Chain A
Amino acid sequence: MDALDLARWQFGVTTVYHFLFVPLTIGLGIFVAGLQTAWHRTGKEHYLKLTKFFGKLFLINFAMGVVTGIVQEFQFGMNWSEYSTFVGDVFGAPLALEALLAFFMESTFLGLWIFGWDRLPKRIHLACIWAAAIGSNLSATFILSANAWMKHPVGYEVVDGKARMTDLWAVLTNSAALAQIPHVIGAAFIVAGGFVLAVCGYWLLRTGAPMWRSAARGALVMTAVAGLVVAGTGDTSARLLYEQQPMKLAAAEGLRHDTAGAGFSIVPGLEIPKLLSFLSTHEPDSVVQGTDDLQRRFEQQFGPGDYRPDETIVFWSFRVMLAFGLTTVGLSLLGLWLTRRRRQFPAWLSRVLLLALPLPLIAVIAGWLLSEIGRQPWTVAGELLTASSVSPGVSLAAVATSLTVFTLLYGALAVAEGVLLVRHVRGGVEEHTPTPVAERREPSLMY
């Protein structure tokens, strides 16, 4: 173990943890805004109850997304100073844009929404939740284009050992970014949909009140539509991997040698012939490069070294992502069919939806492991190795301290957040008839 290993562990732990909350913020924000819009347009009280109920769950979760996000911004400088110095000119720009165009909007309008129930005209108050929710989605767009640049760097040149941006538009419209942004945001909506469905499943089992059915139907539609987006962009991503990150593709398939008409292995030993070639190029007989042959070519290009990622993790994370993601989307399609035209949710379906809560979360985590571990040994593909990215002046003890602190603190907060969410889900909607909003003197929602 050296400082590099621990810095990588810290990045992995803090990023995976951050991304447990982010997808919920992205998807749930829009869902709550949709509920409030429904209330605004129909005046039906159960939409207001649902808005407040899911709004509270959204806020409990939002807090964690915010505070773990600051860690991400600081840790590039703390643990990865060589990386930061090399990429800042390019990579910093989307981060600055994210703060200017998204974070200010998200946080300011969310504050207005929480405390503005009795102070703002209804229409403006509704606009506030939309502004906050759109802010979350915009921020995801910028950070994902920064991330895509690491896998497929474009719009830059290297001057004096540093990347210099030459075209911001190229960075923001990077083909890798355009595939990744809808893929990840779509996945976030699946996670949020799965979360809402689990909560509704619980309440449908307890009361069967019609409002839970309508919320669940909304979440089923959201999950199913997002599922189509994720599947479509996943297909695009596979073809982009073939061109841009052949090593990741080969590792994800456990393909060792360049193969024409390569098959797709579902699990080791069970293979669908020619499917990998077809997915990579839409030509069943095309040649897909294998890890061993790529390794040889990379050595010629970049000098001696091991250019293969951890094949076990990459191979299995790909399968876990596919299996768990597709199961969630399949469940949503099944749910839509079973509850079509005023049909009720069968009890077994509610139970399954409740139990399926972790599936989409596991799928997105697996997706990030595939994405980031699959890029190794590079931080910036073809330009900067992870081993050369770490802060040279930071000691093993310092990184060990911060890894320990974050692990313990995050662990404690995860327990607290879990308890808080469960308690609020069980508490249900406010059952008393709320006083008309304009008459209430004190806001009922203190953070």
Chain B
Amino acid sequence: MVELWFVIIAFLWTGYFVLEGFDFGVGMLAPLVSRSAAEHRAGLQTIGPVWDGNEVWLITAVGAMFAAFPAWYAGLFSAYYLPMLLVLVGLIVRGVGLEWRGKVAGTLWCDLGIAAGSALPAFLWGAIFAHLLFGSTSAALLGGAFTLTVCLLHGAVFLALKTTGQVRRRARVAALAAAVVTVPVAVAALSGLGTFPALAATGALAAATALIWRRREGWAFTATAAAVVLTALAVFLQLRVRPLPGLTLAEAASGAYTLTVLSWIGLATLPFILLYQGWSYWVFRKRVQVAG
């Protein structure tokens, strides 16, 4: 039961990184791939209907950690106090920026908030987890650089997949530019883990680069998503015995009763969540056209 809950939490974090990964990328790139207000709007509209639902994966992952492994949750969040504070600041200004953007006269402040609020968590999540694994500042910086560049690539590919015309063309160029940085950084960051999923993640990023070069946007997005999944898998495989230094998974876990009850509720609700969230992606499956 303890292992099952570790797997569920790893699944929730992975879902969060895959989904918010491209939200963060789009948030940073939308000003760069547009030359007009309408194009800018179209870029952000690719994530408009879904980013809030994507963020709930984080809220659920953290809530599940709190319930299933209280000591892990408490230890992680109090140990990484200032990075978590900055993550919160980022998520606040990004969320407010995205929701208020269409309702204000000048969009400058919202655009700044969206870009900075996407870059901060994109960098910090990598830094936090890398520091958790390797315990050094240099590893944290490398890990942060890795997740930041992966989000840029993942978001650029998503933009290319979901837009048309000039925005789509520029998004492809942005993806190629991001890939030039991402692949070497990935080699440096993931070789530290050296496990099979880590190596496969590097391979997936290389494949994504080739696919976006050949304008196979759907497959390129699959490849960047796979890279995020494989990286998360590599990280959680490392954490499975000791999720925090000096703390074993069993010590951190809640009682059997809580885990059993939560399992039933999780199993009963997750299929529905996946179903209706999937449906919302299906409703907005068409490429976003630039208005006017």
Residue B168 interfacial (CB < 8 Å): no
B84 touches A74 (CB 8 A): yes
Q: A398-B82, A413-B96, A420-B103 are in contact. Are A108 and B277 (CB under 8 A)?
A: yes
Residue B98 interfacial (CB < 8 Å): yes
Q: A74-B77, A405-B89 are in contact. Are A87 and B70 (CB under 8 A)?
A: yes
A95 touches B102 (CB 8 A): no
B284 touches A92 (CB 8 A): no
Choose one: B45, B81, B258, B266; the contact of A402 (CB below 8 Å).
B81
Closest residue of chain A to B54 (Cβ to Cβ) is A107
B277 touches A88 (CB 8 A): no
- Tell me the minimal C-beta distance from B70 to chain A in angstroms: 2
Instruction: Give A360 to B208 CA distance when docked, in angstroms.
Output: 55
Residue A424 interfacial (CB < 8 Å): yes
B70 touches A88 (CB 8 A): yes
- Chain B residues 52-96 with CB under 8 Å of chain A are 52-53, 55-56, 58-60, 62-71, 73-79, 81-82, 84-85, 87-89, 91-93, 95-96
Interface string of A78-108 (1 = CB under 8 A from B): 1111101111111111011111110111011
Residue A298 interfacial (CB < 8 Å): no
Point out which of B45, B81, B91, B104 has the most chain A C-beta atoms below 10 A from its C-beta.
Answer: B81
Instruction: Give A352 to B257 CA distance when docked, in angstroms.
Output: 54
Point out which of B50, B71, B74 has the most chain A C-beta atoms below 10 A from its C-beta.
Answer: B74
- Tell me the minimal C-beta distance from B201 to chain A in angstroms: 27
Instruction: Give A394 to B291 CA distance when docked, in angstroms.
Output: 50
A111 touches B280 (CB 8 A): yes
A107 touches B53 (CB 8 A): yes
Q: Which residues of A contact B70 (CB under 8 A)?
A: 84-89, 92, 162
Q: A77-B76, A446-B41 are in contact. Are A89 and B254 (CB under 8 A)?
A: yes
Q: A81-B78, A95-B67 are in contact. Are A74 and B88 (CB under 8 A)?
A: yes
Q: A92-B67, A104-B53, A119-B284 are in contact. Are A63 and B99 (CB under 8 A)?
A: yes
- Tell me the minimal C-beta distance from A7 to chain B in angstroms: 11
Choose one: B50, B255, B262, B284; the contact of A96 (CB below 8 Å).
B262
Residue A71 interfacial (CB < 8 Å): yes
Closest residue of chain A to B87 (Cβ to Cβ) is A74
Stretch at the interface among A54-62, A184-192, A267-275: A54-62
Q: Which residues of B contact A209 (CB under 8 A)?
A: none
Residue A431 interfacial (CB < 8 Å): no
B258 touches A93 (CB 8 A): yes
Q: Which residues of A contact B184 (CB under 8 A)?
A: none
Q: Which residues of A contact B85 (CB under 8 A)?
A: 78, 401-402, 405
Residue B191 interfacial (CB < 8 Å): no
A92 touches B53 (CB 8 A): no
Residue A391 interfacial (CB < 8 Å): yes
Q: A71-B92, A393-B79 are in contact. Are A96 and B52 (CB under 8 A)?
A: no
Residue B261 interfacial (CB < 8 Å): yes
Point out which of A91, A93, A401, A405 has the most chain B C-beta atoms below 10 A from its C-beta.
Answer: A93
Residue B49 interfacial (CB < 8 Å): yes
Q: Which residues of A contact B4 (CB under 8 A)?
A: none
Choose one: A107, A424, A447; the contact of B56 (CB below 8 Å).
A107
A74 touches B62 (CB 8 A): yes
Residue A64 interfacial (CB < 8 Å): yes
Total A-B pairs in contact (CB under 8 Å)? 232
Q: A62-B99, A442-B291 are in contact. Are A164 and B257 (CB under 8 A)?
A: yes
B73 touches A100 (CB 8 A): no
Instruction: Give A424 to B48 CA distance when docked, in angstroms.
Output: 21
Q: Which residues of B contact A447 (CB under 8 A)?
A: 44, 48, 98-103
Choose one: A79, A108, A441; the contact of B53 (CB below 8 Å).
A108
- Tell me the minimal C-beta distance from A191 to chain B in angstroms: 20
- Tell me the minimal C-beta distance from A274 to chain B in angstroms: 45
Choose one: A67, A76, A115, A116; the contact of B66 (CB below 8 Å).
A76
Instruction: Give A80 to B78 CA distance when docked, in angstroms.
Output: 8
Closest residue of chain B to A90 (Cβ to Cβ) is B258
A108 touches B280 (CB 8 A): yes
B84 touches A112 (CB 8 A): no
- Tell me the minimal C-beta distance from A153 to chain B in angstroms: 15
Q: Which residues of B contact A162 (CB under 8 A)?
A: 70
Residue A266 interfacial (CB < 8 Å): no
Instruction: Give A84 to B78 CA distance when docked, in angstroms.
Output: 10
- Tell me the minimal C-beta distance from A271 to chain B in angstroms: 45
B100 touches A420 (CB 8 A): yes
- Tell me the minimal C-beta distance from A423 to chain B in angstroms: 8
Closest residue of chain B to A63 (Cβ to Cβ) is B99
A116 touches B74 (CB 8 A): no
Q: Which residues of B contact A92 (CB under 8 A)?
A: 63-68, 70, 73, 254, 258
- Chain A residues 152-190 with CB under 8 Å of chain B are 159, 162, 164-166, 168
Interface string of A36-66 (1 = CB under 8 A from B): 0000000000000000000010011011101
A77 touches B99 (CB 8 A): no
Q: Which residues of A contact B91 (CB under 8 A)?
A: 67, 70
B100 touches A60 (CB 8 A): yes
Q: Which residues of B contact A86 (CB under 8 A)?
A: 70
B74 touches A84 (CB 8 A): yes
Q: A96-B63, A424-B103, A446-B45 are in contact. Are A81 and B75 (CB under 8 A)?
A: yes
Instruction: Give A114 to B100 CA distance when docked, in angstroms.
Output: 13
Closest residue of chain B to A446 (Cβ to Cβ) is B102
- Tell me the minimal C-beta distance from B211 to chain A in angstroms: 28
Closest residue of chain B to A87 (Cβ to Cβ) is B70
Choose one: B100, B102, B257; the contact of A165 (CB below 8 Å).
B257
B74 touches A409 (CB 8 A): no
Point out which of A84, A166, A398 has the most chain B C-beta atoms below 10 A from its C-beta.
Answer: A84
Q: A81-B75, A103-B59 are in contact. Are A56 and B67 (CB under 8 A)?
A: no
**Residues in A lying within 8 Å of B, measured CB to CB:** 56, 59-60, 62-64, 66-71, 73-74, 76-82, 84-93, 95-101, 103-105, 107-112, 114-116, 119-120, 159, 162, 164-166, 168, 391, 393-394, 398, 401-402, 405, 409, 413, 416, 420, 424, 441-442, 445-447
Pairs A-B, 10 closest by C-beta atoms:
A88-B70, A77-B77, A92-B67, A63-B99, A446-B102, A81-B74, A92-B66, A99-B60, A84-B74, A111-B49
Interface pairs (29), CB distance under 8 Å: A56-B103, A60-B100, A70-B92, A73-B59, A74-B77, A77-B73, A77-B74, A81-B75, A81-B77, A81-B78, A88-B69, A88-B73, A89-B254, A91-B66, A93-B262, A96-B262, A99-B64, A101-B269, A103-B59, A104-B53, A104-B273, A115-B49, A115-B284, A394-B78, A402-B82, A413-B96, A424-B103, A441-B289, A446-B48
Name 6 extra pairs, CB < 8 A, besides A111-B49, A447-B98.
Answer: A84-B73, A93-B261, A103-B56, A111-B50, A116-B49, A168-B261
